[in-house]
Structure 1
Amino acid sequence: MKEIILIVAELVNIWHDVLLDLTRVLGWDLSDKDLHFWVIGILGFIALLFVDSIFHALSKLSISAISFLFTFSMVLVFVFAVEIQQKITGRGNMEFGDAAASIFGFLVFCGVYFVIRLLWRWVQASRRKQPTS
C-alpha cells in the first residue's frame, strides 16, 4: 500500500512540475495555487459532467443505484483515510489487503441487503397477484 501511494504521489509530482513548466513556457506565470485552481477546477468539472450523466441515467432505473455509488465513494475515501492514518500514527499496518477487505465487506453487506430487498419485493408482488376468495 505504501508503495502504491508513493508511486501515485510521484506521478502527481511529475505532472505538477510538467504543468508548472508548461505554463511558464507559455508565459502564463501561474503560481502553485493558480495551477491547483485550474487543474482541479477543470478535472472536477469534467468529473461532474460524467457523474451527472451517469446519475441521470441511473435515476430512471433506481435511486438505490445512486445511493450505492455515493456510499461506495464515501467508503473508499474512509478506507484509504484509515490506512493512511495507520501509517502516520504507527497504529496498525497500512496494507492494500486491509483496504481490499474493507471494501469487500461493504460489497458483501450491500449484496445481502439487495438480495433481501429483491426477495421482499418478489414476495409482495406474488401476494398481489393471488386472487382473493
Structure 2
Amino acid sequence: MKEIVIILAEIVNQIHDILVDTFGLTMSDKELHFWVIGVIGMATFFVVYFFFKLLENMRWSTTIFSFIYTFTIMIVIVFTIELQQAITNRGNMEFADAVMGLWGFIVMFFIYAVIALIIYLFVKFYKNRRR
C-alpha cells in the first residue's frame, strides 16, 4: 500500500513537471491545485452525470445509486484506515487489506440483494395469485 501511495505521488509530481515544462506555468501549489483539481472535478462530474442520467430510467435506480454512493464512501473509509495504520504504525498498510474490506461490503450487499429479490418475487407471486 505504501508503495502505491509513493507511485501515485510520483505520477502527480511528473504531471506537475510536465505542466511547468510544457506551458511554462509558474503557479504556486495553491493555484496549481485550484486549476488541476477543478478540471479533474468537472471532467468527473460530466462522466458521472451522463452515467447517472442513464441509470435514472432503470427500474432499480435508487438501489443502484445507493450502492454507488455507499461504495464510494467505503473506498474513502478503507483508504483512510490504511493511511491511519501507516501514520500510527498500528497494523500493516497493505493494498490487499483495502481490497478485502471492499470485498466484504460487496459480498454482504450481494447477500442483501439476493434476500431482497427473493422477498420481492415472493410478494409479487403472492399478489398475482390472489387475483
TM (norm. structure 2) is: 0.92
Counterpart check, 1:43 vs 2:32 = no
- What SS does the corresponding residue of 1:130 show, helix, strand or coil? helix
Counterpart check, 1:54 vs 2:51 = yes
Superposed CA RMSD in Å reads 1.3
Unaligned runs of 5+ in 1: none
- What SS does the corresponding residue of 1:12 show, helix, strand or coil? helix
Q: Measure, in 2, the Cα distance between the counterparts of 1:66 and 1:56.
A: 11
Q: Measure, in 1, the Cα distance between the counterparts of 2:108 and 2:126.
A: 27
Aligned partner of 1:98 in structure 2 is 97
- Greater shift, 31-40 or 15-24, is seen at 15-24
Aligned residues: 129
- What SS does the corresponding residue of 1:39 show, helix, strand or coil? helix
Q: Write the letter of the residue equivalent to 2:26.
A: D
Contact 1:20-1:32 at 8 Å conserved across structures? no
1:48-127 pair list within 5 angstroms = 48-61=45-58, 62-127=61-126
The one of 8, 28, 31 equivalent to 2:28 is 31
Unaligned runs of 5+ in 2: none
Identity of aligned residues (%): 43
TM (norm. structure 1) is: 0.90
Q: Measure, in 2, the Cα distance between the counterparts of 1:18 and 1:83.
A: 30
